[in-house]
Amino acid sequence: MFEGKTILTGVKPTGTPHLGNYLGAIRPAIELGKKAVEQGGSHYMFIADYHAINAEKNPIVLKQKMKEVACVYLAFGLDPKKSVFYKQSDIPEIPEITTILYAYTPKGFMNKAHAYKAAVDKNREAGKPDDDGLNMGLYTYPTLMAADILTYDSDIVPVGKDQVQHVEIARDIAGAINAHYGKELLRLPEYHIEENVAVVPGIDGRKMSKSYGNVIPLLEDDKSIKKAIFSIKTDSRPMEEPKNPEEILVYEIYKSIATPEQLLEMGEGLRQGKLGYGHIKNMLLDAVIAEVSTAREKYDYYMSHYDEVESMLAEGAQKARPVAQRTLKRLKDAVFGR
Ligand code: TRP
């Protein structure tokens, strides 16, 4: 499926991830990149720090978030020898290409882009003027994202549902430029949504999210993970009462991390009244710890040897830049008639 294809993944530095981020985004991104490379494609993976400054103005906080996100991906197995792993801000061609793309970006696209619309909606709800507190970085976010994508002739951009529109905007901009110059200056990207990716519920049953305070931590010590897992909502039915596993939150969370055999074991135990809530919470705890323990050690190592990570990112940028330079030249030659 990926032979000869270029896959590009971008992540924003959003701070310490939880189990939901891991199962829903981090693990699928790493696995997809691996698969692409195995099948003879290439994988670009970058940290979108220019996107981040629209919201995060404190350099110390931003630096810490960058550090965490870089170390998380490496800890969970992103291989910088196979994937081109870099920081967006290390590629100066990106803002240059963005500027060229602006000339082909209808303003109406930006008005309709959902990141901007969501911010406007929030202002309206709060009774504030539409554009209160919004900067041009947020408004033009999709064009920068289009540059991220189009620069590397990306074929496939794996995204969550909320980012589909942005990939479509990139495609439209590329199409407009190609049509204008009558040749394929830019490759038209496609979005890819992983079908089997879990939306992991949090310990109160709503979607796991930092803003709800219902997360299971990922890279903290066993005690913190245990504390969260043992706070998962249950009821007071006794163990012996046969239960439908599908109605049990612990089981729901277990689904996204257990093997089919493990899942069957928990399901049967609940149906037959042989497993109580304490048992199944321990089973979930074991599965989470088994999944994260090696990564946690690696994470701690990278966090305390960040200079090594920085040189990996710098090497990644060195691999990415020549490609970006070629795209920039192609565009400049066309738009300036060189
Ligand atoms: N907008 C993406 C997000 O919020 C991050 C991102 C920036 C991205 N540039 C990208 C993703 C290019 C894919 C391709 O998650």
Digit-coded pLDDT (tens) for 321-337:
999 999 999 999 999 99
Q: Which residues line ligand 1 (CB under 6 A)?
A: 8, 10, 12, 48, 51, 145, 148-149, 157, 159, 163, 166
Please check the confidence at residue 196 and state whether its pLDDT lies above 80: no
What is the whole-number distance in angstroms between the Cα of residue 47 and the centre of ligand 1?
9
- The pLDDT, as a whole number, for residue 198 is 75
Q: Which atom of ligand 1 is nearest to the CA of 8?
A: 14
Please check the confidence at residue 48 and state whether its pLDDT lies above 90: yes
Confidence of residue 317 (pLDDT cuts 50, 70, 90): very high
**Tens digit of pLDDT for each residue in 258-309?**
999 999 999 999 999 999 999 999 999 999 999 999 999 999 999 999 999 9
Q: What is the mean pLDDT of residues 148-165?
A: 94
Which residues in 2-118 belong to E strands, given as ranges?
6-11, 42-47, 83-87
C-alpha of 8 from chain center: 11
Mean pLDDT (the chain) is 95
Q: Which class does domain 210-299 fall in?
A: mainly alpha
Matching fold, domains 6-199+306-335 and 210-299: no
Confidence of residue 10 (pLDDT cuts 50, 70, 90): very high
C-alpha of 205 from chain center: 22
Q: Residues 285, 287, 292, 297: what is their CA dihedral angle, to the nearest 10 degrees? A: 80
Nearest in space to 134 (alpha carbons), one of 110, 152, 158: 110
* Atom 15 of ligand 1, nearest CA residue: 11
Q: Which atom of ligand 1 is nearest to the CA of 158?
A: 13
Q: In the structure encoding, which two tokens stand for residue 39, read together?
A: 């099948």
What is the whole-number distance in angstroms between the Cα of residue 110 and the centre of ligand 1?
15
- The pLDDT, as a whole number, for residue 166 is 96
What is the whole-number distance in angstroms between the Cα of residue 12 and the centre of ligand 1?
7
What is the whole-number distance in angstroms between the Cα of residue 129 and the centre of ligand 1?
27
Kindly write down the DSSP assignment for every residue of 138-172, as one continuous string.
HHTHHHHHHHHHHTTT-SEEE--GGGHHHHHHHHH
Q: Give me the percent of the chain exceeding a pLDDT of 70.
A: 100
What is the whole-number distance in angstroms between the Cα of residue 160 and the centre of ligand 1?
10
* Atom 13 of ligand 1, nearest CA residue: 10
Long-range contacts of 277-280 (CB under 8 A, 24+ apart): 277/234, 277/239, 277/250, 279/239, 280/248, 280/250, 280/251, 280/254
* Atom 10 of ligand 1, nearest CA residue: 10
Kindly write down the DSSP assignment for every residue of 181-214, as one continuous string.
HTS-SSPPPEEE--TT----B-TTSSBP-GGGT-
What does the longest C-alpha to C-alpha distance in the chain come to? 79
* Atom 8 of ligand 1, nearest CA residue: 10
- The pLDDT, as a whole number, for residue 160 is 86
- Which of 14-23, 128-137, 296-305, 318-327 is predicted with the least confidence, judged by mean pLDDT? 14-23
**Tens digit of pLDDT for each residue in 235-259?**
999 999 999 999 999 999 999 999 9
What is the whole-number distance in angstroms between the Cα of residue 178 and the centre of ligand 1?
23
Q: Where are the domains of the chain?
A: 6-199+306-335, 210-299
Task: Identify the bridge partners of residue 287 per DSSP, sorted by sequence position.
Answer: none
Task: Identify the bridge partners of residue 241 per DSSP, sorted by sequence position.
Answer: none
HSE-CB at 140 with a 13 A cutoff on CA atoms is 18
Nearest in space to 172 (alpha carbons), one of 159, 148, 189: 189
* Atom 9 of ligand 1, nearest CA residue: 145
CATH match of 6-199+306-335 with 3.40.50.2020: no
Please check the confidence at residue 137 and state whether its pLDDT lies above 90: yes
Helices 59-75, 277-304: inter-axial angle, 10-degree rounding:
110
What is the whole-number distance in angstroms between the Cα of residue 246 and the centre of ligand 1?
34
